[in-house]
Amino acid sequence: MSAGTDDPGLAGSEPILETENLTKQFGGLTAVDGVNYSLRSKGIRCIIGPNGAGKSTFFKLITGRLSPTEGAIRYRGEDITELEPYERVRRGLSMKFQDVSVYPDLSVRENFRIAVQRHTSDYDDAVSDLLDVVQLQGKRDTLVGDLSHGQQQWLEIGMATAIEPDLLLLDEPTAGMTVDETEETGELIQSLADDGMAVIVVEHDINFVRQIAETVTVLHNGRIFTEGSVEEVENDEDVRRIYLGEE
Ligand code: ADP
Ligand code: MG
């Protein structure tokens, strides 16, 4: 593929990610309800929505951590609905989950080593690159349990990028962060996008959304409620209502 990374003219080409009628039921609850989502260009896109809107479930369906009740997922034109999570990872799809998934009793470097050793034999270079990307060189020998909350989140983002994904999904990467950490996280995500990654970020904080993304999708009750520029969405009265009603 030779398409430019941030060329809006990509609109006519094959989507990077597409879901069709994607649906997930848990018993009687429909957590994701007939979602048709399309990601056509690289760069950063956000998904927002109140608690329980189905954001995390949507991501888990895309990575294969959950199987849909109905619907299909296509990644770069290929139907991946039935693929195992590791097969999706192999195709360049990676995710940082909302819950923490690092090894607290190991050092930063050891955590990164675990993340890279599955797909490269050049461990040391790959680990060093990751330490640079997330700016944790100075903490490489620190036990992960001793990192600040923000640093742990960056470590996780780093681990998710270890496979050099084409598409990275980040579920609430700034949860629990200080204002400064949040801003640094925005810069980190921006740098990943500048390197040519497509990034979808689930986020609560509209100020953060404004910092990193141009296009936002609002999920509500498992459905796409609206989609548009940050400004359009922010000024949408119905969006304000669902947030005010449930926050
Ligand atoms: P969000 O990430 O937008 O806060 P989730 O995707 O986590 O929302 O959850 C959407 C809905 O699905 C919620 O009502 C939640 O309680 C429910 N849910 C999520 N995961 C499960 C599960 N494994 N089993 C049963 N219900 C679930
Ligand atoms: Mg969630």
Measured CA to CA in angstroms, residue 218 lies from 173, 238, 244 at distances of: 17, 11, 14
With a threshold of 0.85, does the pTM exceed it? yes
Task: Cite the DSSP H helix spans in 64-166.
Answer: 85-90, 108-116, 123-133, 149-161
Mutate to test the pocket of ligand 1, among 22, 24, 25, 26 (most ligand atoms within 8 A of CB): 26
Tell me, using a 6 A CB cutoff, whether residue 52 lines ligand 1: yes
- Dihedral (CA of 24, 225, 244, 213) sign: positive
Tell me, using a 6 A CB cutoff, whether residue 50 lines ligand 1: no
Q: Nearest Cα to 15, choosing from 198, 231, 188?
A: 198
Mean pLDDT check: name the lowest of 21-25, 28-32, 221-225, 230-234. 230-234
Tell me, using a 6 A CB cutoff, whether residue 66 lines ligand 1: no
Measured CA to CA in angstroms, residue 130 lies from 109, 121, 126, 137, 140 at distances of: 9, 15, 6, 9, 10
pLDDT digits (tens, 9 = 90+) for 44-69: 999 999 999 999 999 999 999 999 99
Q: Which atom of ligand 1 lies nearest, measured to the CA of 219?
A: 3
